[in-house]
Structures are given as structure tokens and as C-alpha cells.
Structure 1
Amino acid sequence: PMPETRMPTLGAVLGLVNAYEAESVRLHVELKSDPTRPELTADPEQFTELVVEELDRHGRLDNVAILSFDWRIIRHAAELAPGTRRFALIELDTLHWNDGVGDDVPAAARAAGATTLSPEHIMVDESLMAQAEAAGLDVAVWTVNQPELAARMLDLGAAGIVTDYPDRMRELWRERGLELPLPVAPLRPVSV
């Protein structure tokens, strides 16, 4: 914690990314919205427009993913920025937010404009993966912190794994012959 330091704006973060000339880094921007509490949530269309405008101002629309549990945001992002990746986040507690989901969640996510389905790992099984394949959606599973669970998700066909511990996944990636990113060097010396 840094006393009296405020949370940076999206524009400040994008400016920092650009200052580091990190064009190859794909950013994932999750737009938080709760349709069950409209008094506390920004209008989803206006919110999406502001975020897309800021991403465009910083030249990031081609290398960003917009994520949301509220698929009204996904739908509007598809209209505003059709070339941008859009992740329909799902979990059991918030799936009911999205009208007309029915028994085929991936098809409903595709109809809402998603390019990727991103379920909580407890929702992933053979049936969901088959539906996602039929809908033409990649699946990025979250939050997977154990290599054994990550291996199971990969075996089921997951295209992406969201984890709090990428260092734990390196050996699994190596065993599977998957591309490993270079280790990240600290920006400044680490004092011991």
C-alpha cells in the first residue's frame, strides 16, 4: 500500500502500457456491472462506450479483450468494436443475469456477441465443451490454481487457463509442448 495513492484510471494504465511500448501485451479489461442493482451500476451501454472510446484513444482495440458477466456489455461491445475479443464470463451465481440463456449457454453467449466463453472451472465438463465447440467459441477457464486441474481443463479442450499462479503452470506447459512466455524480470532490483 502507498498512502494517499489513488487507484489509477483506465487511461493512466493504458498510458503506462504505451510508455513501456508493450504493444504485444494483450490486455483483458473486465467491465463490472450488476443488472440486479441498477441504482449502483452505470448504464451498460454508456459504460461500454466510455471504455471502448478510451481503448481506441490509446490504440488498444486490436489487442484487448473486453470481459463481463453482464452480457448487455458484451452485446454493445460487439456493436461498437466488432474486431475486439469479447469474453462472456459465467458462474453459477450470476448466470441468471442474462436473459434467454437456456440449456445451451455457449450458444446464448455467441448470440450475445461473445468471441470466447469464460466459465468458472466448476462449470466445465464434456457437455459444456461440446456446446462451446458447436457454437464456435474458445473456452478460457477461471480461476485454476492447481496444475492437475489445469491439465484436466486442457484435456477437455480449454483454449485458455486463468490462474493466480502462472509459475505453477510452467512445468505443465513445458510437458504439453505449449509455448512458454519468457519469465518476467523485475523493473527494479529486488532488495533482500
Structure 2
Amino acid sequence: MQPSQPRDTPASAPPRAPVRPGPWVSGRFDVEGHRGARGLVVEHTLASFDAALDAGVTGIELDVRLTADGQVVVWHDPVLSPEQCTSSSPELVGARVRDLTLEQLRTVDIGSRTLARFPGQRPSPGAHVCTLDEVLAHGLVRDPSVWWTVELKVDPRDAGEARSRRQLVEGVLQSVHDASVEHRCFVHSFDWAVLELSAGLAPDVLRSALVETGVTWVVGSPWTGSVRVGESHDDVCAGAVAVGAHVISPEHDLVDEAFVEHAHAAGLAVLPWTVNDADRMRDLVAAGVDGLVTDHPDRASAVLARTAD
């Protein structure tokens, strides 16, 4: 995916510098802990969010889904994976989150099993699935200035998830309102219809368009909301602007200096994911990205400290 380049701007013209709202307005590079700090502590546990804050993040990225009783909970996968979960009620492990009540989810231990692909990951025994309200309240006690990137997990190819899209958006917006973080958060999704819906319901809440390599910006994509790739729009940045995004959040291998310049010219901040290699972090900082999402915010903080020297 290569964005088309503007053709009517002379090479000697100074670059546009639109105001891009977000944590980077202060001039500080935005390090966002992915699912808390997944490289350090089991994801989406309160201990993982604490580890991210301890590493000095400016933002926390997390995922949300709806339960059977309409609660907004912090969890990534559509199911309770046996790789991550244990329970005294074995029938719950492997079940779909949307088929379980919050009370049932509370009985599942999501913190005792670590993942082999994160050899430094620490467990958080007894941790359970939390609501978005609980995570926001916990994080704000630790750091009231932190930004929140709330990824709404909606697969537009899943009829059940598509039907409940509005309920999930409304639940998230209510939570961020109740926590008074409307002006320190992003509604963030691969499903750009989520962003369009959020723009209509809460236009002042910032929005971030996720892009996955070979999935999002392809002809016939179901992920781009009202935008039709190659029909209504030929360029991914223009498409993101059209659905009301303030940020474009691509898979990091799509990002280079040309992409950043093009996105910035469109008024979009650039927040690549998920960046764990220190050399790649340095390359992206040099390319001019506004921040990055990482499983290792400690590693990113060390890279930034060396870059500043």
C-alpha cells in the first residue's frame, strides 16, 4: 500500500504543518503501551497497565468487546483462549465473550498463563477480565494525564458484531464521558464504520483509523465504512480523513518518511503498531511519526532517551 503523492506542490514549498490533536501537541513523542505492557506482564491485566505506566508511557492502548449482558469489557480475542485463560468451570475456556455475562467472565483467571513468544512476560495470578470503567478508573488514579487509545473490536464480516456495533460505540463513549477523558482518548478501530458512528454521536472525541497490511486498503474491503477503495477514494489517507479520523494507525511495515509526510499533509497524525524492535523504533522516530504502539514501552523509552542525547 503506497499513498499517492500530491502533484501540485512545488518541491521547494515548505511542508504544511496542520495542528494534529493528540498527546503529541505538547511536543512529546507518544509511547503507547499495547494491551498495557504485553511484553512485560500478561496483557489486559491491571498489573500490565501498571507496568506500562511505570515505564513512562504517554498513552495506553487496550481492546474492548461487549458481553452477553451488554457490559464493555477489556479483552482482545472473540473467545477466551485456552492459551491465556484458566477456570474452575472448564466450559468457559474457549467460549465467546459475547455469549458470557460479566459475572461469568469474573470467574476466569486471565493472568496466570504467560505466552512463550514473550519470554520476559510476568504473570498476574488471579487477574480477571475488567470493565472499561474499571481500567480507566484504575489508570487515572495512577496518572490522570495519560491518554487512552480504546480499540473497539468489531469485525464487519461477523453479523453479530456488526449488529452490536452501535451498542459498543455508545458504551465506550459513555465510559470515557463518565471518566472525564473525552479529550484524552481515541476511538480506535480497524472497522472504520465505528469511526463514522462515533463521529456522529460524539464529534469532539478523537478518532484513529487502524490499517492492516493487505487487509484494510484493498478493493472490496469491508473494513473501510462508507469509503470504497478504488471507487470513492484511491488513497488510504484521504479515505481515513473521509471517515472522520484524526489519526492513521498503520501496521508499522507500511510506514516510511514519505508516508508520514503524506499523512501529515492530510492533517493526520501517524501512530504505527506494534513496534517492538529497537532499530525499527529508531527508524520510525527518524521518519517523523507522532508516536508508536509497543508491547515494550520500557524499550521505547530507552530508545527515546538515547535519541535525545
TM bin (shorter chain): 0.7 to 0.9
Deviations 1:105-133 (A, max 9, x none): 01110111111100001111344323312
CA contact 1:143–1:161 (8 Å) conserved in 2: yes
Q: Do residues 7 (structure 1) and 129 (structure 2) align?
A: yes
Matched, 1:100 2:228: yes
> Aligned pair count?
176
> Residues of 1 paired with 2:261 and 2:146: CA distance?
30
CA shift in 2, pair 1:8/1:42, >3 Å: farther
Equivalent residue number for residue 124 of structure 1: 255
| Residue in structure 2 matched with residue 140 of structure 1 by the alignment | 271
Q: Which residue pairs with 1:29 in the alignment?
A: 150
- Is 1:51 paired with 2:182? no
Match of 2:205 in 1: 84
- Which letter maps to 1:83? D
Residue 37 of structure 1 deviates from its aligned partner by 1.2
Q: Give the equivalent residue in structure 2 for 1:181.
A: none
Q: Kindly indicate which of the two structures has a greater share of residues assigned to helix.
A: 1
Give the fraction of aligned pairs with identical amino acids, expressed as a percent. Answer: 36
Contact 1:89–1:119 (CA<8 Å) still a contact in 2?
yes
TM-score by length of 1: 0.81
Q: 2:307 aligns with which of 176, 179, 183?
A: 176
Instruction: Choose which of 150, 159, 163 in structure 1 pairs with 2:290.
Output: 159
Which consecutive unaligned segments of at least 5 residues does structure 1 have? Answer: 179-192
Query: In 2, are the aligned partners of 1:74 and 1:113 still within 8 Å (CA)?
Result: yes
1:170 CA drift (Å)? 2.8
SS of equivalent residue, structure 2 residue 294: coil
Helix, strand or coil for the counterpart of 1:141? coil
Specify every segment of 5 or more residues in structure 2 that has no aligned partner in the other structure, as ranges.
Answer: 1-111, 113-124
The answer for the alignment partner of 1:189 in structure 2 is none
Residue 41 of structure 1 and its aligned partner are, at CA, apart by 4.5
One-letter amino acid matched to 2:174: E
Cα distance in 2 for partners of 1:138, 1:154 equals 13
| Structure 2: distance between partners of 1:175 and 1:55 | 35
For CA contacts below 8 A with separation 6 or more, give which structure has more relative contact order.
2
Q: Which 4+ runs in 1 deviate beyond 6 A?
A: none
Q: 2: CA distance between counterparts of 1:46 and 1:136?
A: 29
2:171 aligned with 1:70: no
- When normalised by structure 2's length, the TM-score is 0.52
Asked if the contact 1:69–1:94 (Cα under 8 Å) also holds between the matched residues in 2, the reply is no
CA apart distance, 1:30: 0.8
Measure, in 1, the Cα distance between the counterparts of 2:285 and 2:142: 32
Q: Which has the larger radius of gyration?
A: 2
Check 1:38–1:94 CA distance in 2 against 1; reply closer, same or farther (3 A cut).
Answer: farther
